[in-house]
Structure 1
């Protein structure tokens, strides 16, 4: 690995929401080893003069589906995993080129895809993966229609989830995903838009089943993330140790109190509802499923306002499917009138590392953190739209000390 020193950099201190002027940042063997306002001794292979532009950690999307090459999940489960993996490579590279250097996959990606990225066989952000999300029969990852008794697809290959019922089954499923290297466990804990036989307002899994899943994740020192829309679903999850709630569109004030009490995080995914409402059917989603999005579309904005008012810590998540993944940066636009710019940047950087139990590993420009950095022409703390214009603003993208774009 080469050593790179950035000079004349305005560094974005994501945790404190301020600019550190005229800094030098040194990256060696894929890690940041020095951040200073004065030159330090050292033999550098490569010096990059940022010329007063703005250096910050690479972005983190905490809710993606990199294998969701179509929003038709029933179709996805019948496709060759080789085909899905090949098509996923296009989605991954596009994410990196938007400035995302780490993504948390919420169901579908596995050890092989993450390893291919780590080894450089595929270009993309680092993948933290849940493997297959855990779903009860008839839950959000059970894609059988109401008239189907069996399913011809392969639940262990290209799909996003696996069906398991009862304490012993869910425990075995969680252990199996952990065996396969999962960096978090995903629980389908309420109804959803893309599943054919459940209702948005349903709760899923018994409390005993949820306890068993969380216990296994905790034993493996990883966290749990849970798909949940309603307050009824959310409020039974957080006290049981679930670390992040995905979506949360129909939460209530008691939910906010629980987020604060248990130091849990909310991952709103407003941009996927916006995209599904506008082009879901055209992109491949069944029309009767696309109609379910209107049950949560408007509520998402109200939940965001409530969470911000109460001081709930939030993560940046997109949850986009298929060709709609091109709207990944739209989440910044949809939150910017409610969430202050510095907090919105934290949601896409240091908050994610904290929520995952990886504080200091990424999301900040500090010694010891991964060499995942982006350079922007202008200051995103002054205008969050800077982050939504990668073609005009992104001058450099580096992951693990390797530059994937450099127009400096």
Structure 2
């Protein structure tokens, strides 16, 4: 890979929320080798950034890259080849929005991640959990009330796997770890898209939760837990969960616990607004769409409460099917509550910290991956810059390779 020297750039230090003094950096072997003036190697390619604002590539910490439809029961019956082909389109669009890393919350596996790494599929780097773990009748169990068997199978496309009891959840976690999972996803409360559970239910026993976290910890990977209510969240956080996904119905005690234990929160407000507007038209069953309204408005109050309490946050979209075009909309929703600098941190360095990859990506520093995006204007001054990639986003680089260059 040819060395690249980026010059005349306004480098953004996302951790400090300010511009850096340097205006150039040297990239070798896909990583940042030098920042500022330095001696250049032979045969270096120079790219004049023309004053563009350069920052780390964005990270979406809650996606479903194989969720080509919001109808999860249907998804489990589809050919994995068909789903993989359609996921190709979704992944390319994510990269073109400026996301260079995404954390999949159920559905993607080692094959899809490898295809992206090899550039067989053009998209962001995928952190994957394989199948999310669900109890019988939980958020990952897509059987209707009268259905005894799964229409599909766990070898086919789908987002979750059902396991019950300490020995089964250990086996399931170990199996996903065997297949290379970079994190384990736990369905720890009811959800909107599952047919038989209630949003306000807790799922898995304390013993089962402890077993799953223990297996992930033993493998040196982190855990993410789907949870809406304070009751679900407050029993999860002391177990050592890394991030709470959604959290729309949390309370002050939830915030206190998350601050105490250093737990991250991944709000995904954009998906509820999208489901309320166009969920049925996109393929969601009408009776499931009604569950959206149980959490829609509460999510905005939860965001404000958590931010004021000092809970660390990640950027997440959780969009399904064709609604994934709204992926950048979470910035727009959160900006009325959260500062521009904190919004950017949630979508960059906070994600690397949460995953255990501090210094590997998520910020401009020596040794980090050259996952970089450049904009005409400064997103620290106006977060809307990030939501207008067609006009603002000039350069996309992942691992030192250019995927977009309009300079």
* TM above 0.5: yes
1:269 matched to 2:260: no
1:40 matched to 2:39: yes
Unaligned runs of 5+ in 2: none
1:162-201 mapped onto 2 (5 Å cutoff): 162-201=161-200
Aligned equivalent of 1:51: 50
Q: Distance in 2 between matches of 1:292 and 1:333?
A: 23
1:89 matched to 2:88: yes
Q: Specify the SS of the correspondent of 2:152.
A: coil
**8 A Cα contact 1:22 1:52, kept in partner:** no
Q: Specify the SS of the correspondent of 1:205.
A: coil
1:24 matched to 2:24: yes
Aligned equivalent of 1:216: 215
Q: Distance in 1 between matches of 2:153 and 2:199?
A: 25
Cα deviation code 1:286-325 (max 9, x no counterpart): 0000000000000000000001110100000000000000
TM-score, scaled to structure 2: 0.99
**8 A Cα contact 2:28 2:400, kept in partner:** yes
Aligned equivalent of 1:71: 70
Aligned equivalent of 1:3: 3
Aligned equivalent of 1:356: 355
**8 A Cα contact 2:396 2:404, kept in partner:** yes
Q: Specify the SS of the correspondent of 1:82.
A: helix
Q: Distance in 2 between matches of 1:138 and 1:266?
A: 25
1:161-310 mapped onto 2 (5 Å cutoff): 161-310=160-309
Q: Specify the SS of the correspondent of 2:270.
A: helix
**8 A Cα contact 1:27 1:371, kept in partner:** yes
Cα deviation code 1:318-355 (max 9, x no counterpart): 00000000000000000000000000000000000000
Q: Distance in 1 between matches of 2:88 and 2:265?
A: 28
**8 A Cα contact 1:228 1:245, kept in partner:** yes
Q: Distance in 2 between matches of 1:25 and 1:331?
A: 30
Displacement after TM superposition at 1:41 (Å): 3.5
Displacement after TM superposition at 1:21 (Å): 4.3
Cα deviation code 1:369-397 (max 9, x no counterpart): 00100010000000000000000001000
**8 A Cα contact 1:5 1:44, kept in partner:** no
Displacement after TM superposition at 1:45 (Å): 2.3
Unaligned runs of 5+ in 1: none
Displacement after TM superposition at 1:44 (Å): 4.8
Task: Specify whether residues 44 and 343 from structure 1 end up closer, same or farther in structure 2 by C-alpha distance, changes over 3 A only.
Answer: farther
Q: Distance in 2 between matches of 1:401 and 1:232?
A: 45
- Residue-pair matches, total: 407
Q: Specify the SS of the correspondent of 2:23.
A: strand
**8 A Cα contact 2:233 2:244, kept in partner:** yes
Q: Distance in 2 between matches of 1:351 and 1:338?
A: 18
**8 A Cα contact 1:256 1:312, kept in partner:** yes
Q: Distance in 2 between matches of 1:192 and 1:32?
A: 41
**8 A Cα contact 1:73 1:143, kept in partner:** yes
Q: Distance in 2 between matches of 1:249 and 1:152?
A: 31
**8 A Cα contact 2:352 2:359, kept in partner:** yes
Q: Distance in 2 between matches of 1:351 and 1:399?
A: 18
Displacement after TM superposition at 1:43 (Å): 2.7
Q: Distance in 1 between matches of 2:377 and 2:389?
A: 11
**8 A Cα contact 2:22 2:35, kept in partner:** no
- Where does structure 1 differ by over 3 angstroms across 4 or more consecutive aligned residues? none
Q: Specify the SS of the correspondent of 1:109.
A: coil
TM-score, scaled to structure 1: 0.99
Q: Specify the SS of the correspondent of 1:23.
A: coil
CA root-mean-square deviation: 0.7
